[in-house]
Amino acid sequence: MTTELSMLAYTAILTVLLAFPSTLALIQTRGLPFAAGNRDEAYELPAWGERAARTHRNALENLPVFAALVLAAHVSGATNDTTALGATLFFWGRVAHAVTYLAGIPWVRTGAFGVSLVGLVMIAAQIV
């Protein structure tokens, strides 16, 4: 498997794993029956749980763009050392983003997002 496809798979796994912290916060604050139910009523999570939910949503928003670029590069034969580095930067940027978002470290989180964005641009540049 290419580096780009491996990073895509790792990013998908990371995105799935990021669903768990906010779920744990929900179970901790409202109980398992509420978490397993339809959750029709409004609820709040503790600050760390809200950050965890935002972290997961952010990962969900970025995964499709990364997947589209990696798959377009792969199918078009545009993969090279630059796309491999871009995919690696994206993945590790997302890991750092998730860790710093969960920990509530704003400026480092923004820098980590910037690293992942640079990775996306590197891949896109090889396609066009």
In angstroms, the CA 93 to CA 83 distance is: 15
Domain positions in the chain: 3-127
* Cα 73 off chain centre by: 20
Closest CA to 58 of 18, 8, 107: 18
**Could you tell me what percent of the chain has a pLDDT over 70?**
100
27-60 pLDDT, tens digit per residue, is: 999 999 998 999 888 888 999 999 999 999 999 9
pTM: 0.93
- The strand ranges marked E within 1-128 are none
Give the class (CATH, top level) of 3-127.
mainly alpha
Q: What pLDDT, in 10s, does the model give residues 110-122?
A: 999 999 999 999 9
* Degrees, nearest 5: CA angle 20-25-26: 95
Give the confidence band of 3 by pLDDT, cuts at 50, 70, 90. Answer: very high
